[in-house]
Chains A and B, each alone.
Chain A
Amino acid sequence: MNGLTLDIFLLAMMTAAAVWTVMRGSLLRAVIALALTSIALTAVMFRLKAPIAAVFELSVCAGLITVVFMSTIALTKPLTHKETLDYTKTRMKRFWLLPVIMALLGSALLYFTIPMDFNLAAPLETAKNFRNILWEERQFDLIGQILVILAGIFGVVVLFKERSKDEPQD
């Protein structure tokens, strides 16, 4: 029984972290909150018996993406402390609605019994391990991944390159 309560706790943690990322005033803390969400997600995925994916998620999302965001923030001129203070006040005017909507939606979903008429697919007998699925069945996706990575490299090369002096400043 405690498994379910654990799930509830982890999911609640993840949702709270997500809301925190959205509501948080300063950008830096928002990125940290995002990393927290990612960590919570990893925990949930462990619960859902998807360990490899969880580790991958943790290392890439929590790690790499946070780094990307940090560097972008570093490259851009962050607001001074005072500016962030009065900025957060004005922000609040726009964001107070989110928790209200979420509370309403949560209670509505809890209250109404959603018809679960569909039946889930029967579980496979041969418990294939992760490796051969990825390589035998999903080769096409692998090729896709290679393509995406190549495109990503070009993207980074084109976009992040400092503008060299002779380039026309249009």
Chain B
Amino acid sequence: MSWTLVVVPIIAVILLNLPFGEGYRKLAFPAGIFLAVLQSALVLLPIENMFPYGACPLSPFVFLSPDALGLLMILSVGIVVFSALLVGWRMTDKTSRKSDFANLIILAMAGMNGVILSGDLFSLYVFLEIVAVSSFILIAMDKNREALEGSFKYIMLSAVATILILSSISVFLMLTGSTSFSAAAAALKQGNHAAVLASGLFIIGLLIKGGIAPFHGWLPDAYTSAPAGVSIFLAGIVTKTTGIYTIIKLVSYVTGYTGPVKEILLFFGAVSALLGAFAALDQKNFKRMLAYSSISQMGYVIMGLGAGNPLGVMGAAFHLFNHAIFKTQLFVNSAAVEQETGTLNMDRLGGLSDKMPVTGATSVVALLSTAGVPPLSGFWSKLLVIVALWVAGYKIYALIAVFAGVVTLAYLLSMQRRVFFGNISASFSNIKEAGVSFTLPAVLLSTITIAAGVFFPYVFEKLIIPVQALLGLL
């Protein structure tokens, strides 16, 4: 399992970029699609024993067989990379730029798999950096003014996060002599101040990478200025894996759900839920609104985590997965709109649903799921989070979550009205539905959303319930 997820992409990239002949470069896209599909299949279909090689030559010590949440993340990485590649490949114009895009996406995917699989603090840092570096390059690929600005801001914030993470690792090394999760957890259990400081620094670093409320400065600019395919990739999975998933992993494996940690998660989750929702309310640019919406939804996940009970963790994991799906879906729709109309300014858009029926319909599905309307998947995950908060006794936070949900519905409905309904402006009267590389991922993602919603008991039992184990680790 871990062998294929990290090493095979490396071999693929090397083979694809051998110095002789241009022919190979065009293969990058199918290689990427294959790897993404392979990855999703690995999670869904029990083909573990198909690989004859048995024990991976690399020592098991370094590779951690992925836990339930890890499997879920690997699945969402696969799905999002698949859609991002499809859209990105179609939208980047020059062939050389296309292959760079595909290769970097593959590298980033490998990086993310590494993050999911990493077993100790330092390797977690290494793979975080890999994903970060490839994202910087992906954002800056178009080399236009906004893209460079967004990329530079991301670089600076990510660097600061790295500094904090590294200093935390060095303190843990000083205290425990090793960088593994269990050693760090043991040091924390003794409760000396240095260990608490180190875990605090690490959490701050991850909050910055995850784009949670006060640290979210870079996120709207990076998402909006990046080219369409890259912003799908970033919003869909990068911030989730490097930021939010790592926080869940750190809290589960190292710090444990102690009082102060829960308080931090709840407070910052609530702040970003509210701030993201309200900021999204007053946006002109379609992608910028979706960026702020991501901050708000990630705030939900963090709050769910902060509830500290099994229901909360499950809710957070399920919302993380759902959000990966319907946020990617919305970004794919925005890419389709950008491709057809050339603009993302919602004031000039309008009435596109009759010209672009599939995009319009799938956007409605994603919108309803984000807002948490039954029977779609978003409803179940938000319900789990809110119920978990209420049961855990954090009644005010539950109310904040509900209120943020209301504001979410408000800005998404206003987006839908401004972009897809209403009357179409003259300049867009001759546009037609976006190509198959937009409609295919859109349809695929909305079917997943609906399926996850309708077959919730099955999905819940198979994928989500095992996530409870995270609570029992410490």
Contacts and interface: CB of A to CB of B under 8 A. Distances in A.
**Direct A–B touching, Cβ under 8 Å:** yes
Interface of A: 115, 117-118, 120-124, 136-141, 143-148, 150-152, 154-155, 157-159, 163, 167, 170
B123 A151 contact: no
Nearest to A143: B6
A20 to B, nearest CB: 21
Given A121-B176, A151-B134, A158-B141, A144 B61 contact: no
A141 B100 contact: no
Contact of B133 (A123, A137, A155): A155
B174 A143 contact: no
A140 B114 contact: yes
Interface string B135-157: 01100111110000000000000
A155 B61 CA distance: 32
B175 A139 contact: no
Contact of B58 (A115, A118, A139, A155): A139
B62 A139 contact: yes
Which DSSP category, helix, strand, loop or mixed, fits chain A's interface?
Answer: helix
B100 A147 contact: no
A140 B58 contact: yes
B122 A154 contact: no
B10 A146 contact: yes
Contacts of A147: 6, 10, 107, 110-111, 114, 127, 130
Interface residues of B, number: 46
Nearest to A155: B137
Interface stretch (B190-198, B393-401, B437-445): B190-198
A154 B100 contact: yes
Contacts of B114: 140, 143-144, 147
B357 interface: no
A155 B108 CA distance: 13
Nearest to B108: A151
28 contacts: A117-B193, A118-B175, A118-B193, A120-B174, A121-B174, A121-B178, A122-B177, A137-B59, A138-B123, A140-B114, A140-B119, A140-B123, A141-B126, A143-B6, A143-B10, A144-B129, A146-B10, A147-B107, A151-B104, A151-B107, A151-B111, A154-B104, A154-B107, A154-B137, A158-B137, A163-B143, A170-B143, A170-B144
Contacts of A141: 122-123, 126
B63 interface: yes
A137 B194 CA distance: 26
